[in-house]
Structure 1
């Protein structure tokens, strides 16, 4: 498949692994990575999100996990070919059974969110067959450091359920970014960030396009250090 070129790194893609997409780019650009020294990505796919975060935080150490062997191998390739390779590790593992004594300052994920269906297209990456919200949140709560953040991008329709499960696991919503595909449209995605600390929720809106196929100034500014715009 076509190589995806960013300013500081490249992403090899595969028909067997979920491709580079806007959701991953947004999470990689918006997740609060500033104060993190240890970062875990759950479900790396191509490795895009970790690579973007590594570009934004020049000190942090990264570990990526993916249950899909093809994705783990592709992530490894993209990590090794990047200028950040010394700080990036990845493993072919199931997050549900992942064991470590380490605790992470940031856990980040673009999780599967569709209910299981008959479709085989990107089944593990898109459908909750291997990892559902309860499993993801409870395990993340267990692995976060004392002041750690848990950051995800999910469909807006799943927001209330995700926040509720977070509370059940003593993770409190600290930040909410409502993402609109185009100006004046309804929000279609949420970036949610949680920690064990109760704080006033920082809420904001983000618009991807100001008109069809015309990126907003907000999106261009956010991604200017990553995208190669023609």
Structure 2
């Protein structure tokens, strides 16, 4: 498959690994990495999100986990070929069985969210066959530092149950970004950020396109240090 080229790095892609998409770009650009010295990405795919976060904070080190062996090899290639390679590591690992003495200042994930179906397309990346919300949240709560952040992007329909499970695991919603595909449309995605400390909720809205196939000024500004937009 054709690689996806960003300003400071390139993403090699494969038909068997979930490709570069808007959800990953948004999480990579919006997750709060400012105070993180070490970060964990659950389900790296191509490594896109960790690479974007590594570009945004030059002091953060990253560990990426993926259960898909082909994704692990692809992430390894993309990490090694990037200017941030010294701060990027990845492992072939089932997150549910991941054991470490470390805790993380940031845990980030674009998790699978569809219930299991008959489709084989991007099955591990998109369907909750290997990792469901409860498993993800319970493990993240254990691995998060006391001042750490847990940041995800999920469909708006899943927001209520995700927040409820997080609260059951003493993770409190600190930040919510409602993502709209186009101006005046309904919210389609949520970026949710949790921490072990309850704080005043920061709520905002983000619009991807101002009209069909025309990016909003908000999106252009957010991604200007990443995307190579055609002129």
Q: Write out aligned runs for 1:188-199 (5 A).
A: 188-199=188-199
Matching of residue 177 in structure 1 with residue 184 in structure 2: no
**What is the CA-CA distance between 1:133 and the residue it aligns to?**
0.1
> CA shift at 1:91, angstroms?
0.1
- The runs of at least 4 consecutive aligned structure 1 residues that moved more than 3 Å come to none
1:6 Cα deviation (Å)? 0.1
What residue is the counterpart of 2:39 in the other structure?
39
**Once the 2 structures are TM-superposed, how far is the Cα of residue 64 of structure 1 from its aligned partner?**
0.1
Deviations, residues 153-181 of structure 1 (Å, cap 9, x unaligned): 00000000000000000000000000000
Q: Which residue pairs with 2:82 in the alignment?
A: 82
**Secondary structure at the residue paired with 2:165?**
helix
Aligned runs of 1:156-175 on 2, under 5 Å?
156-175=156-175
Number of aligned positions between the proteins: 230
Post-superposition shift, 1:55? 0.1
**Aligned residues: CA RMSD:** 0.2
1:4 matched to 2:4? The reply is: yes
Structure 2 CA distance for aligned equivalents of residues 168 and 117 of structure 1: 28
> Secondary structure of 2:158's match?
helix
Deviation at 1:184, TM superposition (A): 0.1
Partner secondary structure for residue 116 of structure 2: coil
Q: In 1, distance between residues paired with 2:188 and 2:116?
A: 20
- Give the whole-Å Cα distance in 2 for the aligned partners of 1:229 and 1:121: 29
Q: What is the CA-CA distance between 1:12 and the residue it aligns to?
A: 0.2
Instruction: Could you tell me which runs of 5 or more consecutive residues in structure 2 were left unpaired when the two chains were aligned.
Output: none
Gaps of 5+ in 1: none
Structure 2 SS opposite 1:198: coil
Q: Compute the TM-score of the two structures, normalised by the length of structure 2.
A: 0.99
The CA distance in 2 between the partners of 1:15 and 1:119, in whole Å, is 15
Secondary structure in 2 matching 1:14: coil
CA distance in 1, matches of 2:148, 2:35: 9
